[in-house]
Amino acid sequence: MSAGAAADGRRLIGARNRQKLLDAATGLFAQRGYRGTTTRDIAAAAGITERTLFRHVPSKAVLFREAVIGPVDEFVRAFSAGWNDRPRGSRESEVEVREFYDNLLVVIDQERSLLLALLAALAYEDHEGDFPDLDLTFAPMLDALAEILAVESDLRSWTLEPRIAVRLIVGMALSVTIHRDWLFAGGTLPERDLLVDQLTRFTVHGLAGVAR
């Protein structure tokens, strides 16, 4: 085997091990939270040694950040790419907003346990300063969405401040997904399609729900 082929093989094994680590960490963080999960647990679940784990990542905090942020970052990148591929203003406002909510709620629902673990970590668990900037990690993604909203606002004569409006929009989507158990306690949990519909109408038309 040539030196190049051997190097490629090592890189492939390294990439596979890193993915195993991320998959194992994602599952354990979702089940046990940040503090309830150890690097030894993660390594065992990934089928590698703890020593190998630290060859791939410097700390548990880095794995946590990747597990939580990765899916959201992927959503923002995909949304931005799709938006960039379309002519500006080519779709109705409701269509644009509905697609955004539809895709975002899928991501949040899939990552609900991890996002709950993130909220717990930020609120209660970071006593040792493991991830001092974790609360800022979403900021670049939100700012990227705000730039898109600013362009759309100019085209559609929307008057809300894009930086704030984007955070209100994402905040509503997070709330109805992450906090659904108490927001809808005592009643029937709405189907996702209905939530998307109501969020879209509220975002585009306000409390009236329809164009005036």
Joined together, the tokens standing for residue 107 give 């991501």
pTM, to two decimals: 0.81
* pLDDT score for 5: 45
The answer, yes or no, to whether residue 136 has pLDDT greater than 50, is yes
pLDDT band at 8 (very low <50, low <70, confident <90, very high): very low
Which pLDDT band holds residue 132 (cuts at 50, 70, 90)? low
The rounded distance, in Å, linking the Cα atoms of 23 and 150 is 36
**Which tens digit of pLDDT belongs to each residue from 149-188?**
999 999 999 999 999 999 999 999 999 999 999 999 988 8
With 0-12 CB in 10 A as exposed, 13-18 as middle and 19+ as buried, what is 117? Answer: buried
Rounded Cα gap, residues 67 and 25, in angstroms = 7
Residue with tokens 């907003």: 97
Residue 134 pLDDT: 67
49-64: pLDDT as tens digits: 898 888 888 888 888 8
Q: Domains plus CATH for the chain?
A: 1-57 (1.10.10.60), 60-208 (1.10.357.10)
- Compute how many other C-beta atoms are within 10 angstroms of the C-beta atom of residue 166: 21
CA distances from 129 to 53, 70, 161 (A): 21, 21, 33
Residue 36: CB atoms within 10 A of its CB come to 13
Q: Please, which residues have CB within 8 angstroms of residue 166's CB and are 6 or more apart in sequence?
A: 142, 145, 146, 149
| Average pLDDT over every residue of 73-84 | 92
Closest CA to 197 of 128, 106, 97, 57: 97
| Residue the block writes with tokens 């990542």 | 57
Q: What is the mean pLDDT of residues 32-48?
A: 91
- The Cα-based distances of 168 to 39, 59, 63, 165 in angstroms read 36, 33, 28, 5
Does residue 47 contact residue 85 with C-beta atoms inside 8 Å? no
Helix (H) or strand (E) holding 153: helix 139-156
- Predicted confidence band of residue 7 (pLDDT cuts 50, 70, 90): very low
Structure tokens at 155: 């085209």
pLDDT in tens, 116-131: 888 887 777 655 566 6
